[in-house]
Structure 1
Amino acid sequence: MASMSEVKCVVVGDGAVGKTSMLISYVEGKFPTEYVPTVFENYEKEVTLEGKHINFTLWDTAGQEGYQKIRTLSYKSADIFLVCFSFDNPGSLENVKARWAKELKQHRCQAPIILVGTKADLKDADFDSSAAEKIGEEIGGCGYIECSAKTTQGVDEVFQTALKTGFSAKSAGGKEKVKGKGFFSRLSGKK
């Protein structure tokens, strides 16, 4: 029997932006009703992609400042990063560039990045998605996706895209970064 491939996905972003809720919604199919700050948590899901069985490991990290040292330990061997902000916290989008992209760069993380807007059910009608798309491009991301763990809208898309992108990057041997305007445009819906 052939060994199962693995794709490692690390989820980062400010505390309380909905990272854990998004992961639980995807892995367990339910929405947690209580907020419990995460220090470090792993989830696994066996999936099939292009006829291959893959162990999709999902690393949930703490967004609070005091956990930087333990959080950055999870970055090693990551195949894909999901950098999250929430629609109910405008400062979390600013921190994508000011904090999270810098931290990943500082630790020489070469894996592709997907920008994820969480809590889409709380999105203000005046929110301009092009601002998030622009930040996604500025940080070298390969896409931008919005989701809501509460309604499950977009959650499967986030993780299917992460799986495909991470698997492609890993298959390329880490030699080429899966990114570029064409790919970003397809993910974000821009032409």
Structure 2
Amino acid sequence: MSPRTTVKAVIIGDGAVGKTAMLWSYTRGEFPDGYEPTVFDNYSCSVLVNGEPITLTLWDTAGQEDFDRLRPLSYSNTDVFIVCFSLVNPISLMNVRQKWIPELRFYCPTAEIVLVGCKSDLADDPLTLRRLHDNGKLSVDEAAARQLACEHGASFVRCSALKRQGLKEVFDTAIAKTLEATQGLHPNKRGRAMSRGVFSLLRSVSPWRIVTAN
């Protein structure tokens, strides 16, 4: 089998959960000002894995219902879905179960999944948690998120675009799961490969460089 040279990752999830901020913060090293709903954006990055170049294409999609019929056009030949929800919005996690995973499985039944809890800075902020409580709301039960990921053979990562925490792990994990699937590892061996093999290679990933941005 020839070495894989490209990985296509599509980012999906409810609107305003932090998908675009996550991409922007990681690829450009800064947090975006303001919120503008995404229609579709495409980024291409060159990374090195074990000294070999891999092109990672990142597809940012709109989570709003208005784009439900258009969004799947970007799903063709997807290797891995990065499914995002907000750690301070339990409904966004509920929609992962009820909408996003069923949707991606319908169009791409064999694609890998990385479940990402965005806005970890807010989930760790006592003032934010107090405001949620005062408004009768709760933050996400991360144990439930991890259980959901386990049910679907996904990996779970939490991140903060504002503080740039966990961002590298999100994309390292996406690449790792794709490479493991390509190598045909038995599911029982994947955990060991993720922790000891693939990630040791991904630590040498070069800084992300945007080649194209639409």
User: Residues 164 and 182 of structure 1: is their aligned pair in 2 closer, same or farther, counting only changes over 3 Å?
Assistant: closer
User: Residues 19 and 127 of structure 1: is their aligned pair in 2 closer, same or farther, counting only changes over 3 Å?
Assistant: closer
Letter of the 1:147 partner, please give it.
C
- Residue of structure 1 equivalent to 2:165: 153
Alignment TM-score, normalising by the size of structure 1: 0.85
Aligned pair count? 179
Identify unmatched segments of 5+ residues in structure 2: 127-138, 196-214
Q: Cα offset for 1:60? A: 0.3
Is residue 75–residue 108 contact of structure 2 (8 Å, CA) maintained in 1?
no
> Bigger relative contact order, structure 1 or 2, given CA contacts below 8 A and separation 6+?
2
Output aligned runs, 1:94-133, within 5 Å: 94-123=94-123, 127-133=140-146
Q: Cα offset for 1:183? A: 2.9
Distance 1:42 1:130 in 2: 32
User: Residues 80 and 108 of structure 1: is their aligned pair in 2 closer, same or farther, counting only changes over 3 Å?
Assistant: closer
Deviation by residue 1:35-58 (Cα, 9 ceiling, x = unmatched): 010010011111001221011100
Residue 164 of structure 1 pairs with residue 164 of structure 2: no
User: Residues 129 and 181 of structure 1: is their aligned pair in 2 closer, same or farther, counting only changes over 3 Å?
Assistant: farther
- Residue of structure 1 equivalent to 2:156: 144
Distance 1:66 1:119 in 2: 24
Letter of the 2:178 partner, please give it.
G
Output aligned runs, 1:55-134, within 5 Å: 55-123=55-123, 127-134=140-147
- Residue of structure 2 equivalent to 1:28: 28
Secondary structure at the residue paired with 2:76?
coil
Deviation by residue 1:117-160 (Cα, 9 ceiling, x = unmatched): 0000011577532111011122x132100000000010011011
Is residue 168–residue 178 contact of structure 1 (8 Å, CA) maintained in 2?
no
Secondary structure at the residue paired with 1:63?
coil
Distance 1:182 1:133 in 2: 17
Letter of the 2:166 partner, please give it.
G
User: Residues 50 and 40 of structure 1: is their aligned pair in 2 closer, same or farther, counting only changes over 3 Å?
Assistant: same
Secondary structure at the residue paired with 2:69?
helix
Secondary structure at the residue paired with 1:54?
strand
Larger-Rg structure: 2
Distance 2:19 2:189 in 1: 26
Q: Cα offset for 1:182? A: 6.3
Q: Cα offset for 1:180? A: 6.1
Is residue 112–residue 178 contact of structure 1 (8 Å, CA) maintained in 2?
no
Is residue 110–residue 177 contact of structure 1 (8 Å, CA) maintained in 2?
no
CA RMSD, aligned part only?
2.5
- Residue of structure 1 equivalent to 2:191: 183
Residue 135 of structure 1 pairs with residue 148 of structure 2: yes
Distance 1:86 1:27 in 2: 20
Deviation by residue 1:85-118 (Cα, 9 ceiling, x = unmatched): 0012110000000000111122243111011000
Is residue 40–residue 59 contact of structure 2 (8 Å, CA) maintained in 1?
yes
Secondary structure at the residue paired with 2:81?
strand
